[in-house]
Amino acid sequence: MSLSMNSNIELPTARVQTQTASGMVAMMVGIGLLVALVSMPWWAHQGTIRSVVELCCYIAIAQMWNLMAGYGGLVSVGQQAFMGVAAYAMFALAQNHGIDPFVAVGLCLLVPALLAVPTYALLHRLDGPYFAIGTWVVAEVFRLIVTNMPYLNGGAGMSLRVMTQYSAHERAIGITILCAILLLVTVGGSYWLLRSRYGLALTAMRDNPVAAASQGVNVKKLRFLIFIAGAVGTGLVGAIYFMTQLRITPESAFSSNWAMIAIFIVMIGGIGKIEGVIIGALIYFFAERIFGPYGSTYLVVLGLLTLVIAIYARGGVWGLLSKVVNIPLFPTRRTLVSRDEK
């Protein structure tokens, strides 16, 4: 290094600031909401808990898609593959092998992790847009294999009868704790990752993979790890969601509806931002409750809205908001602050 050459020049004293006041407030609110979530079984109705569990699943699956598409450049339309295999693995462990369902939720994550490795090894050979359809084929392959497996009761699906060993209250406690863990792992984990030194690499990769690689970022390895992380996170969503449903069929487990939900949430909220996922999930959650009864008309509007956003408003709602006010809730930007300014 040629630092010695410049050693007579005094460097301005500065430090890197990554936290903001709005970020601190948001973190406090977030922790408060997690505590409220876990305490729900003692004050909320069963129906409310179900809705909140659903919302948590939306947030988590969208954040996993956001991590892959927004940072890794891995646009998938087949993440339901990992949702389905994890959920089925959980059902098989609990129903066929007598393992406690809440323990099975953790164990079953090995399956998406292990399947993601060969899946990525094959699919990363496909160019950009073809990667997306490749993920869809993989989801179809898993669905067809499950449909033909007597061990998993084939196309008829399975019921999680072992859950009857727990009372409704006990189940609610278990599921809200799982949801809190789900959010901590997917949203909290992404937040932590983006603020760590890997976050810099990820952001660089998002902005320009070639330039990032020239700066020493191992883009290939990072993409692989993101794909595995995305598969495991999505798998956890699947296991928790179908635990609340108590029933699973190949059609529901591997439904491309989940890809649609994740894509819609991330695109409308704002890709590449955690705030975008939260906003998008809330919009989708309420839109479905308000406009869901309109059925296919509602889906036509949803599809066209996704189209319009992809063309004209790539930053989504959070992108538009950020142009007006700068209050990051999950700040990941590094700002250089001079010591004198303090």
Partner 1 sequence: MRWLDALIQGVLLGGLYAQYALGMALMFGVMRLVNLTHGDLVVLLALIGVSLAVSWGLGPLALVFVLVPIAVAIGYVLQRAILNNVVSQDPLPSIIATFGLSIALQNAMMQVWSADTRSIPGFGIEQASWQIGPIYVGVLPVIVLVVATLLTAAIDALLRFSRFGRAIRASAADVEAAALTGVNPKAVYAWATAIAVGILGFAGLFQGLRSTVAPFDGPAQLIYAFEAVIIGGMGSIWGAFVGSMVLGITQAIGFRINPGFGILAGHLVFLAVLAIRPQGIFGRS
Binding site for partner 1 (CB under 8 A): 69, 73, 75, 77, 122-123, 125-134, 136-138, 140-141, 144-145, 147-148, 256, 259-260, 263-264, 267, 271, 296-297, 299-311, 314
Among residues 306 and 322, whose Cβ is nearest to partner 1?
A: 306
Helices then strands, each counted (H, E), the chain: 17, 4
Name the minimum Å distance from CB 157 to partner 1. Answer: 15
Report the length, in residues, of the chain: 342
How many angstroms separate the CA atoms of 140 and 133, rounded? Answer: 11
Among residues 117 and 310, whose Cβ is nearest to partner 1?
A: 310
Name the minimum Å distance from CB 116 to partner 1. Answer: 15
Which helix (H) or strand (E) element contains residue 335?
strand 335-338
Among residues 19 and 148, whose Cβ is nearest to partner 1?
A: 148
Name the minimum Å distance from CB 163 to partner 1. Answer: 30
Name the minimum Å distance from CB 267 to partner 1. Answer: 6
Among residues 38 and 313, whose Cβ is nearest to partner 1?
A: 313
Among residues 35 and 145, whose Cβ is nearest to partner 1?
A: 145
Q: How far is CA 301 from the centre of its chain?
A: 24
Name the minimum Å distance from CB 114 to partner 1. Answer: 16
Q: Comparing C-alpha atoms, which of 281, 274, 279, 265 is closest to residue 195?
A: 274
How many angstroms separate the CA atoms of 235 and 112, rounded? Answer: 6
Q: How far is CA 142 from the centre of its chain?
A: 20
* Integer CA distances (angstroms), 123 to 75, 110, 115, 166, in order: 11, 20, 12, 42
